Amino acid sequence: MNKKKILFLTGTRADFGKQQSLIEATEKEGRYDVSIFITGMHMEPRYGSTANEILKGNFKNVYSFINQRQQDSMETILANTVHGLGNYIYIKKPDMLVVHGDRVEALAGAIVGALNNLLVVHIEGGEVSGTIDESIRHSVSKLAHIHLVANEEAKRRLIQMGEKESNIYIIGSPDIDLMTSQDLPSLKSVKKDFDIPFNRYAIFMYHPVTSSLHNLMDNIQEVVKAIVASERNFVVVCPNNDPGSELILEELEMLKDNHRIKIFPSIRFKAFLVLLKNCEFILGNSSAGVREAPFYAIPTINIGNRQNGRFLHKTIIDVPESMEKIISAIEKVKCLKVKSSKHFGDGKSTKRFLNVLKSKSIWAENIQKQFIDVNIV
């Protein structure tokens, strides 16, 4: 019997973290021909060349593609990815393309897959945020045939968008499978690998909001002043490669000689999870603060509007980009008593994903999608 060919697309350290357990399990099954298309910030030295970390996983079929130069616009990156992935698919001819989230690489994958009559699977559609990422996520969903969502809330949104209910599967967020894994490294080994000397520390991650670049410099300056004034130890992870990231990197450069701060272009996802699980709090505007941190019952100081509309939990304190408000929130964190949240899953996503793949109905799905009207009274 010919094996079904499944292609996973990854363009960021975060989306690989979401897909890693799924890729490993699918390859281990032995009944599928699994490939990985690596592109995006994975390929950039200034973001840690994280493609090398994927290659260390000894996956059988991996292809790396450089889709951007420094300062390339998002539409250029989108076009480059469509072109490169299209050429790869022409040769590889997969049966299924799996994409994740709301990045331009995922959008490129959905476009190429749909135009080549491939079965497109979208992980974590139906979610909202306060940026252009939300529009990209919904666009990917409209091009995808199969939806693997985190919860009922996301499922309802996709139904509202005209997607067929029988093609929406609640599997939870796959990264929680890694978060609950017994294979995570020890905190001691992670600190040794990354030369982190702190006993107590917080994590800082701050990304540009592409629709609000006009005040990005003022915002990041306020945030950096708060970090310094707090006199806390911080593990800092550099931003995504979105427009405006160079402004953030310039400000972070001013912190490099501060003995309370360790800055990294990227941190391996499993190592990051260990650091997150053991930190005092996470500061910034990363989705890790509203998704992963609540699962570990770690407080989040969520800055600005990048996560607008996302999950609200007692672990999360929302603040504007103001030094005084951030310092005040850091003081409040000491008093927070929180419990773990399983809003985004329970650590069984991989098992559910494999069950979806084994379903005959998805492989027989009509590639020509139809809009499903919702009865509105």
CA distance 131 to 308: 8
Q: How many helices (H) and strands (E) does the chain have?
A: 15, 13
Q: Which residues pair with 204 in a beta bridge?
A: 236, 283
100, 207, 214, 313: the catalytic one is 214
Asked whether the beta carbons of 101 and 137 are under 8 A apart, the reply is yes
Largest CA-CA distance found in the chain, in angstroms, rounded:
64
Residue 85 phi, psi (nearest 5): -65, -35
Asked whether the beta carbons of 267 and 174 are under 8 A apart, the reply is no
* Helices 104-115 and 74-92, packing angle to 10 deg: 40
Residue 31 phi, psi (nearest 5): -100, 0
Q: Which secondary structure element, helix H or strand E, spans residue 325, and what is its range?
A: helix 323-333
CA distance 195 to 235: 11
Give the residue among 184, 171, 190 at the shortest CA–CA distance from 359: 171
CA distance 29 to 19: 15
Q: Is 259 a catalytic residue?
A: no
Q: Which long-range contacts (CB under 8 A, 24 or more apart) does 164-170 make?
A: 164/369, 164/370, 164/372, 165/372, 166/361, 167/362, 167/365, 168/126, 169/352, 169/356, 170/352
End-to-end CA distance of the chain: 49
Question: Could you list the active site residues?
Answer: 214
